Amino acid sequence: MKTQLRVLLAVVIGLGSGGLAGAAQPEPTAAAKQDEMMGDLDAVLGFCAKVDAKNQATYLRYRSELIGVGKGDDALMIPASKTPQYQQARHAMGEKLETLPVSDARAQCGRMVGAAP
C-alpha cells in the first residue's frame, strides 16, 4: 500500500490545483497547503471511484483511511474539510478531472491502485 500511496500523492501533487489566477496572493500557511492537498486528494479519490467501478472499493477505502470519510457516508470527518482552502481545491481539482476522457481517466486511476490494464 505504501507504493500505491506514493503514486496517489504524486498524482495529486502533479495535478495540483495551485493558486487562483489574478492578483498576487500571500504565501499560504503550512496548514492551508495541507488543507489544499487534502482537498485535491479527496477530489481524485472520489473521481476515480466514479469512473473506475472495478476498483471503486479500493478508492473508497483509501478515501476513508486517508481523509476520514465515514463508511458509506459522504460527511467528511476531518476539520480541514470545512476550510476554504480544502473546498476550493476539491472543487478546482474536480473540474479539471471532469475534462479528462473517461477511458484515459480510468486507466490512470487503475494504475494508481496497481490494477492491471
Nine cell digits for residue 15: 495535478
DSSP per-residue string spanning 38-89: HHHHHHHHHHHHHH-GGGHHHHHHHHHHHH-BPTT---B-SGGGGSHHHHHH
Q: How many CB atoms lie within 10 A of CB 69?
A: 22
25 located within any domain: no
- What is the distance between the alpha carbons of residues 5 and 51, in angstroms, rounded to a whole number? 19
15 located within any domain: no
Summarised one tens digit per residue, pLDDT across range 87-116 is: 999 999 999 999 999 999 998 898 888 866
- What is the distance between the alpha carbons of residues 112 and 116, in angstroms, rounded to a whole number? 10
90 located within any domain: yes
CB within 8 Å of 27: residues ≥ 6 apart:
none
Q: How confident is the model at residue 16 (pLDDT cuts 50, 70, 90)?
A: very low
DSSP per-residue string spanning 17-34: --PPSSS--PPPPHHHHH
46 located within any domain: yes
22 located within any domain: no
Domain count, the chain: 1
Mean pLDDT, residues 33-48 taken together: 89
Is the pLDDT assigned to residue 57 strictly greater than 70? Answer: yes
Tell me how far the alpha carbon of residue 31 is from its chain's centroid: 17
List the domain range (segments joined by +) for residue 65: 2-9+32-112
The reported pLDDT for the residue numbered 20 is 42
